Structure 1
Amino acid sequence: MKNSKPPDLLKNIKYEHLIAGVTGGVTSTIILHPLDLLKIRFAVSDGRSPNPNYNNLSNAVHTIFRQEGVRGLYKGVTPNIWGSGSAWGLYFLFYNTIKAWIQQGNTTTPIGPTMNMVAAAEAGILTLVMTNPVWVVKTRLCLQYSNDKVPTSLRYSGMMDALYKIYRVEGVRGLYKGFVPGMFGVSHGAVQFMVYEEMKSHYTQHYGLPLDSKLKKVSFMCNLCLFCRYEGSRGFYKGLSVNLIRVIPATMITFGVYENVSRFLLRVDKKPAPPVGNHKNST
């Protein structure tokens, strides 16, 4: 009886997805970080703490700009760039690697909603394990107000200073605070990816296109709108309006840049090498 060779996961790794994901994540972060900061501050604003209480979006921007200047709107941007860039890069790398492994290397083979969800969930968990410390630092830097009466020894001057102080005071557990709630976010992302992939699959089948073909811009944007549906009680969704304003363009920028960069890199990688040794011998 012939022994079947186990599928090689490593051969499905393509660095193009990592680079494209990093590029998309960094681009959207640089453009939209102030909205991310506002979302975090709205979420923790309860009207009882000594920190500023914002009435609405315009009031928040005005207050931050008046008290902290333009730099105040970009607090936490460094870890956000590192976190978002690495998270999107790793997520797309892991997801496409796992998906290609399931497809046995044939990217035109549909794998169904269940396996799409499994691939997305596994990619999300792996990414969260590697990036959670960066998200902790980003959140804490975003919540540093100019009028804080926190001792200088406990204030963070930047990303590396925050990583060092959190580790020194709270240990590894401090860097992984919020990991469990983050797991729920992973499951949410898995459902979103499943829906997106299934919509894309139905679209390509309807028009008789290969599964890995590039969508038209209008169809691509309609699929991405599925990422932006939220519902629930107001208490659990503080900053929702800011988040919706941020999420829609952020998703479109990230996925749009990712799709174009990855396809460009993959196309360049597939270009045939120039022929060698075909020159006519001169006499």
Structure 2
Amino acid sequence: MSDNVAHALAGAGGGIISMAVTYPLITVNTRLQVQRTKDSDSAYAGNMDALRKIISAEGIAGLFSGLESALFGAALTNGVYYYFFEAVKATFERASQRKTLSTVESMVSGAVAGAMTCIITNPIWVVNTRLTVKQKSQDKEESTTLQAFAEIIREDGVLALWQGIIPALILVINPIIQYTAFEQLKNRVQRFRKLGSLDFFVLGAISKLAATSITYPYILLKSRMQLKQSKNEGERYDSLADGLRKVIAQEGIAGLYKGIESKLLQSVLTASFLFMSKEALFSYAVKLLILLGARRSLAGAK
């Protein structure tokens, strides 16, 4: 068996760890993204105000709304992404007889992996977005992931699970930028010395900072389009272009960057922990496959 499965398992494990560590920031960011007005008393004035109000109204548990679906989504998303990324990467390496990818090859690998990941995992993130923005009630039990899935299908139809897929596919450029930057930076540093855990942490942070800063407006639109769409014409986004136009008209250019502070912090920390833990888990994933008889030896392992 090739290393693709080992990379997928390590990526899934890294995704779970990074998601668990940074989830409160995701909750704050998502609620700020979907908030369209600050007029009500319950509206969030900013990141710290959102953090304070969520804890005050819902307790610490409110910061972890939808964590179950997020952990599953993170494991599947990173597992699928790394599987396809490494598969395409290996194809390029065999064809070129080189150990490292060119910038274009990194971008193509990221595009293929990102597109496959979006199509396969979008339903999970639709459910997670709705669970994350749904405020906890003291007298009402929170919906489980499966209940939320069933509710969306029952009320909005199966296709609603792929709401926001267009901006999600456009956002494939995010991991393309991230992984291309990471691969190129990693290749340059490796010319001088062997990389350690701290190197992967820092390189992951730098690559994700660049990717998120560039693509944030699409991230915001994707979150809003994944919500149950309002019947109100002014609040419903019929397309990506329609959503972009309405956000600018109603909230100004600044509306496209609502909550970006917490998103940048969360994204950078997530990527840092993901790259660091993924690299650390890879050798364990290989050993697990050997133990299960799915791999003969460590030969060829990264």
Q: TM-score, normalised by structure 1?
A: 0.80
Aligned equivalents of 1:80 and 1:51: distance in 2? 29
Report the equivalent of 1:168: 154
Shift of 1:107: 8.7
The answer to whether structure 1 residue 226 and structure 2 residue 207 are counterparts is: yes
Shift of 1:101: 1.8
SS at match of 1:104: helix
* Amino acid paired to 1:227: K
Inter-CA distance 125–156: structure 2 relative to 1 (3 Å threshold): farther
216, 230, 239: which one pairs with 2:196?
Answer: 216
* Amino acid paired to 1:226: S
Q: Quick check: 2:27–2:64 contact (8 Å CA) kept in 1? A: yes
Q: Quick check: 2:197–2:280 contact (8 Å CA) kept in 1? A: no
Q: Quick check: 2:201–2:273 contact (8 Å CA) kept in 1? A: no
The answer to whether structure 1 residue 184 and structure 2 residue 170 are counterparts is: yes
Report the equivalent of 2:256: 236
Inter-CA distance 217–260: structure 2 relative to 1 (3 Å threshold): closer
Report the equivalent of 2:87: 97
254, 262, 283: which one pairs with 1:263?
Answer: 283
Aligned pairs for 1:4-43 (under 5 A) are 12=2, 14-43=4-33
113, 116, 131: which one pairs with 1:126?
Answer: 116
The answer to whether structure 1 residue 247 and structure 2 residue 243 are counterparts is: no
Aligned equivalents of 2:40 and 2:65: distance in 1? 19
Aligned equivalents of 1:271 and 1:96: distance in 2? 17
Aligned residue pair count:
251
Larger Rg: 1
* Amino acid paired to 2:199: S
Q: Quick check: 1:19–1:89 contact (8 Å CA) kept in 2? A: yes
Shift of 1:226: 2.5
Aligned equivalents of 2:135 and 2:175: distance in 1? 31
* Amino acid paired to 2:131: L
41, 59, 68: which one pairs with 2:58?
Answer: 68
Report the equivalent of 1:135: 125
Aligned equivalents of 2:274 and 2:53: distance in 1? 29
Aligned equivalents of 1:222 and 1:13: distance in 2? 25
Report the equivalent of 1:279: none
SS at match of 2:37: coil
Would you tell me which structure has more helix in proportion to its own residues?
Answer: 2
SS at match of 1:73: helix
* Amino acid paired to 2:195: L
Shift of 1:65: 1.4
Q: Quick check: 1:12–1:100 contact (8 Å CA) kept in 2? A: no
Aligned equivalents of 1:36 and 1:101: distance in 2? 35
Aligned equivalents of 1:263 and 1:31: distance in 2? 22
Inter-CA distance 156–164: structure 2 relative to 1 (3 Å threshold): farther
Greater mean deviation of Cα atoms: 214-223 or 189-198? 214-223
* Amino acid paired to 1:70: I
Shift of 1:78: 0.9
Shift of 1:140: 0.4
TM-superposition CA deviations, 1:171-220 (whole Å, max 9, x none): 2220000000001111221122112212222222x32x7xxxx6234433
Aligned equivalents of 1:167 and 1:51: distance in 2? 33
